[in-house]
Homo-oligomer: A and B are copies of this chain.
């Protein structure tokens, strides 16, 4: 495999659990102390693909909190996400990366215009790219899920949007969209690993296409929805009629706190529901809950009950329980997305990367929610690149 060239991975929410785990893992992979378990891009179907190597990925990022990465990694080590020996092996590397992290944007602490805020974010990314001599930087949003942001007429055209962004004190965009705008204005592809708005506004999507930049998202598929996307096609291809699909999610950590809050959960629940309907070819009774259970720490437990009808109307059921560490599941996909999106950019692709639907609950550029078909599409895309 040829050298791909130095590539930036700029993390929005760089001090969060997912980002910290991704950074720790990248350092551990470089050091050879772990295998790339969970990294799709390191599996056989992609071994001939031209992707940035672990040594070629340079990490930078924004965050609105200041806790040092090393401290965050230590906490994740205590809660079972990062093995103690891995933490020991990479802690000095974490301190170095800490120097590349910059203060993120939050409306409450940025009284100026959103245009100014975006310029500052862009400047951070550009400075990073130049100083490190990077060919390209992929911006990936892994910050906390935002409350649902209202649709505004200003979102429809770039002119209207930029005019509104220039008004001091006006909040026309949620932070994820300010980050997406800043990414695009720096010439960077943008990936949204969260269900937040990000680039998904008419004005920003058009901007991406005009600038020839690819983008991907939304909402990393790491647990209950992942299992659903593998199981639902079993029912449909077997002509078994699903009558209800109920789900309960127990989350600890900051995620539980953020998502159990009804307003925040709104965007998450919508992502999850949309996929299920598409998978089953119609609406079914599908109550869904997200509960904050702090004692679970970084763990996440999902229970689903699928009630279905078979031959002659007989009732049967499938139940599953998924117990996982959200950050362990998400982090390797963040590295995958950085690599694949960098390859797409290098190949001149722009606009929504529907071929990356495999990674998302609510994929942009694709209506395909079946996991196996998404995997096949990803392989086909990689082969063609």
Selected A-B contacts with CB under 8 Å, 10 pairs: A34-B311, A37-B241, A37-B310, A38-B238, A226-B234, A246-B293, A295-B307, A303-B305, A311-B331, A318-B323
A295 to B24, CA, bound (A): 24
Pick from B43, B84, B295: contact of A285, CB under 8 Å: B295
A248, B325: Cβ atoms closer than 8 Å: no
In A288-308, which residues have CB < 8 Å from any B CB? 289, 291-296, 301, 303, 305, 307
Pick from B82, B234, B291, B323: contact of A312, CB under 8 Å: B82
Q: List chain A positions with a Cβ less than 8 A from chain B.
A: 21, 24-25, 28, 34, 36-40, 42-43, 78, 80-84, 86, 226-227, 230-231, 233-234, 236-241, 243-244, 246, 248, 250, 260, 285, 287, 289, 291-296, 301, 303, 305, 307, 309-325, 328-329, 331-332, 358, 370-373, 375
Pick from B310, B318, B332, B375: contact of A311, CB under 8 Å: B332
A291 to B247, CA, bound (A): 10
Seed contacts A40-B238, A289-B289, A317-B321; 10 additional CB < 8 Å A-B pairs: A37-B309, A40-B239, A81-B314, A226-B234, A234-B371, A287-B292, A310-B325, A311-B329, A316-B329, A370-B372
A42 to chain B: which residues have CB within 8 Å? Answer: 239
A1 to B279, CA, bound (A): 28
A319 to B250, CA, bound (A): 13
For the complex formed, measure the closest distance between the CB of A379 and the CB atoms of chain B, giving whole angstroms. 9
A312, B24: Cβ atoms closer than 8 Å: yes
A312 to chain B: which residues have CB within 8 Å? Answer: 21, 24-25, 28, 34, 37, 81-83, 86, 328
A248 to B363, CA, bound (A): 29
A21 to chain B: which residues have CB within 8 Å? Answer: 311-312
Pick from B25, B287, B320, B375: contact of A293, CB under 8 Å: B287
A317 to B317, CA, bound (A): 13
